[in-house]
A and B are shown apart, each in its own frame.
Chain A
Amino acid sequence: MTNRRNFLKTSSAWGAAAALGPSLYTAPAAAASEIEVGVLFSLSGGLSMVEKSLADATLMAMDEINAAGGVNGMMIKPILEDGASDPKTYNEKASKLVIRDRVPTVFGSYTSASRKAVLPVFEKRNNMYFYPTYYEGYECSKNVVYTGAVPNQQLSNFIPWIFKNLNKKKFFIVGSNYVYPREMAKVCKILIEQNGGETVGDEYLELGHSEWGAMVSKIKNSGCDVVLSNVVGASVISFYREFKNQGLTHDKLPICATVTSELEVSAMGAEFAVGSYASYPYFQAIDTDANNAFIERYRKYVNDPAAVTHHALESSYFQVFLWKQAVEKAGEATPNAIREGIKGQVFDAPNGRVTIDPDNLHAYLTPRICQYKPDGQGTIVDEYPEPIQPLPYSAYGETSDNMFCKEGGLDTSKL
């Protein structure tokens, strides 16, 4: 557990956070002046590329809080665990953090698969999990605080905006073949219908698929005038490249994406994404003092002047501050107190004001739409005037007047 290999691994992975290293192998003795919390991301394996940046942002927030005097005078002491891109490992590490280290909260997960894997641990032991990624919704747990966007926060402004500003009506929905893109497509279809548009195609490809010839040709011949992409991961690169190779351009047939962030754009080469659109609550391109300062601090923290910030990373950062406020409000760091304390908690994050919904424990976020420029960064072309309410069951008819996930739990009769 605390052998030399682990030490090497963690201390190197955490370059700038090396000072935290020793806390990983001293026995977890809970001194009164410290609060131990779990940080659980994949530091190895295929997902480490993204998840390492989420862990960095989490640790950076804790460092900043500690430097400013801690939580109620107590220092946050992160216990870092590696989920190794494997849901089973996630489950084991979550159990270790909750049962052996007795932490009151764990911050972690990027994929839905890893969240679903740890969920039973937190529900059974009544502990708290803070989850920073945009996801497909359809979940209502009193043991998870969700600070990433749910489908209605990425789509409810996006689709009407496409109708109004791009004047497009015929949608081709394309995605990777798993739960997130399929749930997103459900919400898309509801919104397209509401706006009087038409869905001419709804197609899926395996996750990681790189042969897009047939699909792009189908898109070309479908008669659609806009493509809505829920394609995830490395497939995004093959998709955009094939799109251009078959002679399609974003000014005539734009791709409007929900999972194409600055990371993917820089990996495909900006020339393939120029003119396409994406919807997230956070973009690196948000030009506010708060965000610029955040980007600068993050780059300094990870010691990489070109580091890219993105939505899940920003959520990883601000959710620690929300947690701190919850502990301060509750006066003690127990899971129950934190759950009560987090309800209605407000924080000014780099993306703007964030509020935790007291009913479903998801975050109010401000939807934004950006158009990619030749330098791989986005221009924010639309911004919601205020944060909108998270509705994790919007694909099943949830509205703010008729919420499915209330304080008392999920009302299954409405599903």
Chain B
Amino acid sequence: MSNIFFIGLSLSSILLLIALGLSITYGAMGVINMAHGELVMIGAYTAVLSGIYLNLNLFFALPLAFLVSAAVGLLMERIIIRRLYGRIIDTLLATWGVAILLQQLIRLEFGLTFFGINIKGLGPGLQKMEVPLFLSENFDVLGVTVQPYRSFIILLTIGLALLTWYIMYRTSIGTQVRAIMRNPQMAAACGIDVKKVSAWTFAYGSGLAGVAGVLLAGFKAVVPTMGSSVVVDGFLVVVVGGVGSLLGTLLSAVVLGQINGFFAILTNDIVARAIVFGVVILIILLRPNGLFGFKSR
């Protein structure tokens, strides 16, 4: 039983990890960021490349990936997204385009393959990130086998969720972000620099995606397309939790992860996934704003 719970918990932590960044870019800013998965992918590649060229391990790759993905996110916001606030369908199309662009940049090694130059760690192939040995060797505590890597992901995810909560609810910039979420015109009228705050918020959400990428790379093959499958899960969690609600995102990640884990053990993964989708449809039907949604722009 504890085993099933742990599997559910590790599934939840992955969902939350991906959804956390999305709950900010989508939830707080109303941008359907289809490139979120690609920001995850860029985080994973940052880990791969920093391992190859800088000989950095996972722990140093985490902050680095945060910075790289945040920078890419900031650039996206500055060039494209800031022109599209309030046009939610347009953001979907534009960021989808960005997603394809980012995938191809990695696959074509920034276009250098056309000139016969190959960069180790990029390209269409499978890449790997080394996981430190002590994170992949199991150990026993009081008769319970501990899986260090999964536990590490769970702890770090909780940490990031707390950090995000703190920023959003206990700092002045968080207050400004929440004000913008509710009503951007009113917030601007109160003297909040909406453009600047939005840009930094978007960068923060993107940075979280980068961190998720590093952790995913520990058990998943790093390929240019790795992000496209995770972005769907991310949206599921955010929509079920209620757009804009951090607590909702957290709870829906836990609930969906546990449902998935439970039914995966009971039946199999394919059925479990169908059940998760069924639950999601049911929740959206009964509560169109999600579990903790509120009316916003």
Task: Across the interface, name the chain B residue whose C-beta is closest to A45.
Answer: B124
Q: Which residues of B lie under 8 Å from residue A267 when comparing CB positions?
A: 125-128, 221
A177 contacts B by Cβ under 8 Å: yes
A238, B3: Cα distance in complex, Å: 19
What is the distance, in angstroms, from B11's C-beta to the closest C-beta of chain A? 6
Interface size class of A (residues with CB under 8 A): 35 or more
What is the distance, in angstroms, from B57's C-beta to the closest C-beta of chain A? 13
A238, B150: Cα distance in complex, Å: 13
Q: Cβ of B126 and Cβ of A49 under 8 Å apart?
A: yes
A181, B239: Cα distance in complex, Å: 35
What is the distance, in angstroms, from B272's C-beta to the closest C-beta of chain A? 7
Q: Cβ of B14 and Cβ of A234 under 8 Å apart?
A: no
A228, B128: Cα distance in complex, Å: 24
Contact (A215, B130) CB under 8 Å given A8-B114, A234-B223, A247-B145: no
Q: Which residues of B lie under 8 Å from residue A212 when comparing CB positions?
A: 219
Interface size class of B (residues with CB under 8 A): 35 or more
A159, B113: Cα distance in complex, Å: 43
Q: Which of B194-202, B244-252, B261-269 lies on the face that meets chain A? A: B261-269
What is the distance, in angstroms, from B223's C-beta to the closest C-beta of chain A? 6
Contact (A268, B269) CB under 8 Å given A12-B113, A214-B261, A217-B3: no
Query: Measuring CB to CB, which residues of chain A are less than 8 angstroms from any residue of chain B?
Result: 8-9, 12-13, 15, 46, 48-49, 177, 203-206, 208-215, 217-218, 234, 236-238, 241-242, 244-247, 263-264, 266-269, 271, 304
Q: Cβ of A203 and Cβ of B268 under 8 Å apart?
A: yes
Q: Which residues of B lie under 8 Å from residue A237 when comparing CB positions?
A: 126, 128, 220-221
B115 contacts A by Cβ under 8 Å: yes
Task: Across the interface, name the chain A residue whose C-beta is closest to B139.
Answer: A247
Task: Across the interface, name the chain A residue whose C-beta is closest to B114.
Answer: A12
Task: Across the interface, name the chain A residue whose C-beta is closest to B113.
Answer: A12
Q: Cβ of B150 and Cβ of A49 under 8 Å apart?
A: no
Q: Cβ of A206 and Cβ of B269 under 8 Å apart?
A: yes
Q: Which residues of B lie under 8 Å from residue A211 when comparing CB positions?
A: 11, 14, 269
Q: Which residues of A lie under 8 Å from residue B220 when comparing CB positions?
A: 210, 234, 237-238
Contact (A238, B138) CB under 8 Å given A12-B113, A177-B270, A215-B264: no
Contact (A268, B270) CB under 8 Å given A8-B114, A213-B7, A214-B265: no
What is the distance, in angstroms, from A374's C-beta to the closest C-beta of chain B? 13
Q: List 11 A-B contacts (CB under 8 A).
A: A8-B114, A13-B113, A46-B124, A177-B270, A204-B268, A214-B265, A215-B269, A237-B128, A245-B149, A245-B219, A269-B131
A234, B10: Cα distance in complex, Å: 20
Q: Which residues of B lie under 8 Å from residue A218 when comparing CB positions?
A: 265
Task: Across the interface, name the chain B residue whose C-beta is closest to A47.
Answer: B124
Q: Which residues of A lie under 8 Å from residue B219 when comparing CB positions?
A: 210, 212, 238, 241-242, 245
B136 contacts A by Cβ under 8 Å: yes
Given contact pairs A210-B229, A237-B126, A268-B221, a sample of 7 additional A-B residue pairs in the complex whose CB atoms are under 8 Å apart:
A205-B269, A212-B219, A214-B261, A214-B265, A245-B149, A266-B128, A267-B128
